[in-house]
Structure 1
Amino acid sequence: MAQPRRTVSKSAAADSKAESRTAKSSSAKRGSKSKDQPKTVARKGSTARQPATTRAARTRTAETRQAVAAEAAAATPLPQFLASAGTLTIGQRKLLVDQALLLLEQNYVHLPLKAAIHAVNPLQRLRVMRARMERQTAETMEAEWIFHRQMSSIFHSVRDLHTNYLLPAPFAGKIAFLPFMIEKCHDATGDHYLVSRTVAGYTAPQFGPGAEVTHWNGTPIARAVALNGAAFAGSNDAANLARGLESLTLRPLVIQAPPDEDWVTLSYLGLDGSEQELREQWMVTTNLPPMTDLDALSEASASMGLDLDSDEKARAKKALYVREVVELEGGRSSAALDDPVAVGGADLPTTMPGVFRARAVTTSAGTYGHVRIFTFSVTDPVAFRDEFVRLIAALPQQGLIVDVRDNGGGHIHASEFTLQTMTPRRIAPEPVQFISSPLNLRICRRHKDNPSGIDLGPWFDSLDLATETGAGFSAAKPITPEAGANDIGQTYHGPVVLVTDARCYSATDIFAAGFADHRIGMILGVDDNTGAGGANVWTHGLLATLLNEPPPPDPTSPYVALPNGANLRVAIRRTLRVGELSGTPVEDLGVRPDVTHQMTRADLLSGNVDLLEAAGALLATMPARRLDVTTSLAGTTLTVGLSVTGINRVDLYLDDRPISSEDLTAAPLGIDILDVTAGQLLRADGYATDDLVASRRVRV
């Protein structure tokens, strides 16, 4: 076998001048775009259309390229960045360990589960670490990177992506990256790891989307992914591998220790099939800011179900690969724009280009709607739901594909408010529980009668009784208000398929669980499970604020301000399933798909064509329902027209009071209802035999 050629390459981050010199050749080599996240410009040879051909659009594209080059040039080599890191004193390190012990022992809701399932004891590891620190001095203490690695290892040991040690300055807000992404696909010969994206201007011999990686630092790539996944453990095997692959090229330094190596050596099969090798240096740059101040005392921060690792990586990918969306959002993550815009030529315009992508897709089974939800991390869950409703109303009504792959969660209300729009059934939000502890009781007592702030009253009485009864957890109550989860009802009446993967986590796990528990449709997974993160997560900063607000502050609060911008996060309330799996925790178990699809080369390089084909085939097997309702009010007589498909009975309600139950055929039916006044709410529930299959609401 011929020896691989060795190339030491320069990324755009190291040499931004290469962009103009290589743009033409690299665009010709790289083929069609990967995934379905919008690109700034369609590459030469791609079937995707450019977003616009106006002078303004061309100017904006040029400005975007200049911004990419400027930010790339500002990136710092990893060794240079680390040279300035490391200012924690021995006293500050002891404080961090003490506060970590406090949160894990008194606030962490999953500690008993994690100790049982994974046979770990993070408390003892922290105690041992703290005891050894007593024998250290400023002169003899270990290097700071060792301290951070030990803390991260202890938190990673519980395999809970909600419960984290967040590194202090200068790591917070920074990302370490290589200028390309690698994703896995499968064919008859087995698994393959392909380059799927590169940073604008990056070039290497026969390298680009479609090049197949075979070895990572001399290790076979599949083994390297597995070893890396063990270091950044998820809640199950599928999540481990997914996160191990993603972290090969992208590390949010606030939550993951910096890479051990200054550079990586990559062996790959080039675009022409030749054996190639390159060495690439890790670079460090500033990430986009988060959507929410997670330490603030607000409904959004208290209602977060967010995998911070995935959220940081999603913002980093946007900064590195989807600059047009960054420009549209003005650098504000998940920003809501005043006017809708379309990023891709086939996309529907949306006011939330960093949150949604909506378009019609044609498969061999038919033309269906496809909505990608990139994040639930928004400040206004009602605005999120309303934009989803607006988008799906403009898509084909014979079937809908809701795609939540790579979605690390966000606002729990946003995820559960959205479920109602796709089902006639009443949504039961997932209930949550605190672990029973004196500190959680203190927090709930302080906020049990706090109508203007965070209301923890529903959990107080059960925690108060737990001292006497010995109950391990509080009562299970929902975070999401049930009224908000049901206030508009079903708006989409076609069949729905939900697409998931192992990087779905937190509020997205809650969304997938609610989708399954309310029998909304079929779940198509590209992995065997979701990420299995079932909790509401709070930061150390929020916990401290809860004992200080409203005034006066609690002078005996055990929470102490952390040094240098360090932080801690903890799963504070665990979520439980509803429906047939009522009471089952989401954590570690996740949501298993009805059907599994293994990603193909065409999926990675040609816009998920095989995945969408599989989703279309599922939609074609699902029953088609239609329930059309017209109303006309003359005086106090309301004439209701009903036209249905796949429905044999309709029950009518006026302001939730039963009015009529009608057996129907396919023929339209008119019904008169007397003594009706304008403004009343008419609800029509359609049944197939005795199964509720459709519902509409009309304001008279």
Structure 2
Amino acid sequence: MKLIKIATIALAMMSAFAQAEIKNDYLSNVRPQITFNELSRADKQTLAEQAQLFLRDLYVNRYAKDIYYGNSPDWNKGHVNPADAVQKVINNIDKLSTAQLHAQLSQIFINQRDLHLNYNFPLPHAAFLSFLPINFARTANGAELNEVRIDRVYANYFDALLPSLRKPEVGDQVLEYAGLPVKQAVNNVLINGAGANLYGGFSRAIQYMTLVPQSGKLPPANDRVLIKLRSAKTGEVYSIDLPWLVQYDDAALENKAATASTKSLTDKAFAQSIEGYQEQYNQFVSRNTAESDIQGFSKNTTAEPTIKWAIVPKGEKRLGYISLSSFVPANPDQAVNIIYNLLHNQLAKTDALIIDVRNNGGGYISYADKLPQLFKPGKASTGSARLLNTKLNNQFLNQDDFRQYWPEWVKLINDAAKTKNTYSKTGVFTSAEDANALGQAYYKPVGVLANARSYSATDLFTCQMQDNGAATIYGEDPSTGAGGANVLEHGFFAELGPDWFKPLPDGVSMRVSWRQSVRGGYNPNTIIEDYGCQADVNVPRTLSDLANGDQTQFDKIAADLLAKPVTKSGYQFTGLVGNIIEQKEGNNTLDIQVAETELIKVYIDNQLFETQTVYAYGSPKTVRISLPRKPLGQIYQIGIVGADAGQVALWNTKRLVQVKAQ
């Protein structure tokens, strides 16, 4: 069948796509183009040996995976010891074609069920994305917690490419997939979905059943899939025989693999935790559908596209809402400031707040580390991380670049080398000072809404909010996606460690979970990988949520969150104060009203300046705080902490102060 280009499809279809150069066709037509360039024996050897280095000497979760999943004798059926499995590939390398080599190495990575661990195929294979014009979702119905239903229908594909097929409707229940009962079908693809734990595995499996990017996975084995469904409206049972479709960009097929410079020890290069498949999934959905808001309210945009907010009336109360669709903003520090300002201004008078991080694949760890402080009366703690104690890690980190820029990690691996411990001791990505630089900005109950596709840095954020006692975790699934590691590209190691790492041939790339995340606070010494962050309150989606844009789920969360007690302790500046307080030259005092607070502590540039016992009980009490004498134009930070009789923090605020002329 002739290739169909979006620009030539019906006008109704054009509005669904953002890029006119993207092409669509049937997998049956395009399959011959989804190929690999032939590799020499030397290139095959390089790929296998570099994969072995990654999996044996750098992959920090390898032993934890052995404990959690056990080992399967068959690399194609379950978790395997990755180093041993790659050694078998090396032993048989002369018998393997290029396609077989790629397939086996990829499967070994996938079998670890770690979405931070990736073997990424080269072009032209990587240019293609196979999909069905529907998506699945998990719903709950009474005792049945794992229904599979249609969550999204890409109607324009049916109209343009599949006009003779019955178009399913959102909410229709999936009974069979590829001739198997749906639960058996899900179980059969758990490994290829690569999700961790029960719910992460289930969620990723049903994603994989409708969207398969050839950047990291082989195309579906069959050109079509038969799906039996039950209509949500009528109860009628019917079947559709869907062809797999393919989306790709001609320009990508013409490009040669680029080797980007990765020699950077910045936060962006060194402290990322992001899951690529979820980002691809989100981009596909965004590219092919109009954004839909939760029914009943629309979201306001900000200068950072990944941050949106709303205020939702609920009876006499007002519920604040912040959506974080990604932890990869254009500027992480600016993103934190946007949220800080929303909390201090637009959302300040709401009665509770929901932070929605569903389907957020992660991003910058420092961004996640800096948010809990905005909701915690006392000092917020961050998670930590540790390295695998191997000779290669020791050699790699003991280079001049790391000694200069990351001496704390060099010390950790050197100390570990003197022991027989499996891991180094833990270090942090964000200092305690940076993680508490802004202070508390919201003082009402907070909830975080997450699901099994909340992964990587989003796992870290959700766990840190729980570990700091800063929020109630509401789970669309009982746990987050359980991706607990800092991830780095092979190119990073190859450029900074050419003595051990060789450039990968033909544009292949690999990623590895390098430093394992460890929780603190209320869950000390617990790893996130495979376990995730367990929900405090389960709020699974139901059939009604698919029909009303998750309004049923949202109302449950709102009712629970707004019923929580609100602290009576707090403060209020007596005059109009923004983020910067103006101190008139010669005036060295500041008045605030304090409620239900025993004492206050005043910090100037993080140094204790004054302590007052205020006994502010009953009616609010005006308290006069001393300010330091500073020269005209000077800017400094003031921190004020309200505490109880046991000196436990009840609230805090940090503001900049600028000395101005009278």
TM class by shorter-chain length?
Answer: 0.7 to 0.9
Kindly report which structure 2 residues correspond to 1:446-525, keeping only aligned pairs within 5 A, or say none. 446-447=399-400, 455-525=405-475
- Cα deviation, 1:255-285, whole Å, max 9, x if unaligned, reads 2222112122222234652333222222222
Identical columns (%): 23
Kindly report which structure 2 residues correspond to 1:573-584, keeping only aligned pairs within 5 A, or say none. 573-584=515-526
Corresponding residue number in structure 2 for 1:99: 50
**Secondary structure of the equivalent of 1:579?**
coil
2:488 is aligned with 1:534: no
Kindly report which structure 2 residues correspond to 1:255-654, keeping only aligned pairs within 5 A, or say none. 255-270=216-231, 272-273=233-234, 274-286=236-248, 295=262, 297=264, 298-322=266-290, 346-353=298-305, 355-363=306-314, 366-392=317-343, 393-395=345-347, 396-447=349-400, 455-547=405-497, 554=498, 557-625=499-567, 626-630=570-574, 633=583, 635-644=586-595, 647=597, 649-654=599-604
TM-score, with structure 1 as normaliser: 0.80
**Secondary structure of the equivalent of 1:99?**
helix
Contact 1:366 1:616 in 2 (8 A): no
Corresponding residue number in structure 2 for 1:198: 153
Taking a change above 3 Å as real, the CA distance of residues 640 and 100 of structure 1, as seen in their structure-2 partners, is same
**Secondary structure of the equivalent of 1:536?**
strand
Kindly report which structure 2 residues correspond to 1:72-221, keeping only aligned pairs within 5 A, or say none. 74-84=23-33, 85-91=35-41, 92-120=43-71, 121-134=81-94, 136=95, 141-142=96-97, 144=99, 146-188=100-142, 190=144, 191-199=146-154, 201-203=156-158, 204-205=165-166, 207-221=168-182
* Match among 243, 264, 272 for residue 204 of structure 2: 243
Query: Following the alignment from structure 1 to structure 2, what is the Cα–Cα distance between the partners of residues 569 and 373?
Result: 25
Query: Following the alignment from structure 1 to structure 2, what is the Cα–Cα distance between the partners of residues 630 and 264?
Result: 67
Deviates more, 1:96-105 or 1:392-401: 392-401
Contact 1:654 1:683 in 2 (8 A): yes
Query: Following the alignment from structure 1 to structure 2, what is the Cα–Cα distance between the partners of residues 536 and 223?
Result: 33
Corresponding residue number in structure 2 for 1:30: none
Taking a change above 3 Å as real, the CA distance of residues 143 and 457 of structure 1, as seen in their structure-2 partners, is closer
- Cα deviation, 1:231-276, whole Å, max 9, x if unaligned, reads 3232211111010111111122222222112122222234652333
- Cα deviation, 1:541-600, whole Å, max 9, x if unaligned, reads 1111222xxxxxx5xx12111122111111111111112332222222221111111211
Amino acid at match of 1:696: T
Kindly state the Cα deviation for residue 162 of structure 1 after the two structures are TM-superposed.
Answer: 1.1
Corresponding residue number in structure 2 for 1:682: 638
**Secondary structure of the equivalent of 1:400?**
strand
Contact 1:293 1:301 in 2 (8 A): no
- How many residues are treated as equivalent by the alignment? 612
Contact 2:16 2:290 in 1 (8 A): no
Query: Following the alignment from structure 1 to structure 2, what is the Cα–Cα distance between the partners of residues 227 and 154?
Result: 17
Query: Following the alignment from structure 1 to structure 2, what is the Cα–Cα distance between the partners of residues 192 and 362?
Result: 32
Query: Following the alignment from structure 2 to structure 1, what is the Cα–Cα distance between the partners of residues 5 and 245?
Result: 7
Kindly state the Cα deviation for residue 527 of structure 1 after the two structures are TM-superposed.
Answer: 1.4
**Secondary structure of the equivalent of 1:485?**
helix
- C-alpha RMSD over aligned residues: 3.2
- Cα deviation, 1:44-70, whole Å, max 9, x if unaligned, reads xxxxxxxxxxxxxxxxxxxx7174594
- Unaligned runs of at least 5 residues, structure 1: 1-9, 24-63, 326-341, 548-553
Contact 2:174 2:227 in 1 (8 A): yes
- Cα deviation, 1:434-456, whole Å, max 9, x if unaligned, reads 112222112211146565xxx33
Taking a change above 3 Å as real, the CA distance of residues 673 and 410 of structure 1, as seen in their structure-2 partners, is closer
Contact 2:103 2:218 in 1 (8 A): yes
**Secondary structure of the equivalent of 1:580?**
coil
Taking a change above 3 Å as real, the CA distance of residues 373 and 323 of structure 1, as seen in their structure-2 partners, is closer
Query: Following the alignment from structure 2 to structure 1, what is the Cα–Cα distance between the partners of residues 261 and 377?
Result: 34
Taking a change above 3 Å as real, the CA distance of residues 502 and 414 of structure 1, as seen in their structure-2 partners, is same
TM-score, with structure 2 as normaliser: 0.85
- Cα deviation, 1:281-336, whole Å, max 9, x if unaligned, reads 222224899xx9794534312111112222222222222224799xxxxxxxxxxx
Corresponding residue number in structure 1 for 2:161: none
Taking a change above 3 Å as real, the CA distance of residues 370 and 90 of structure 1, as seen in their structure-2 partners, is same
Contact 1:363 1:612 in 2 (8 A): no
Corresponding residue number in structure 2 for 1:29: none
Query: Following the alignment from structure 1 to structure 2, what is the Cα–Cα distance between the partners of residues 603 and 17?
Result: 32
Amino acid at match of 1:285: Q
Corresponding residue number in structure 2 for 1:4: none
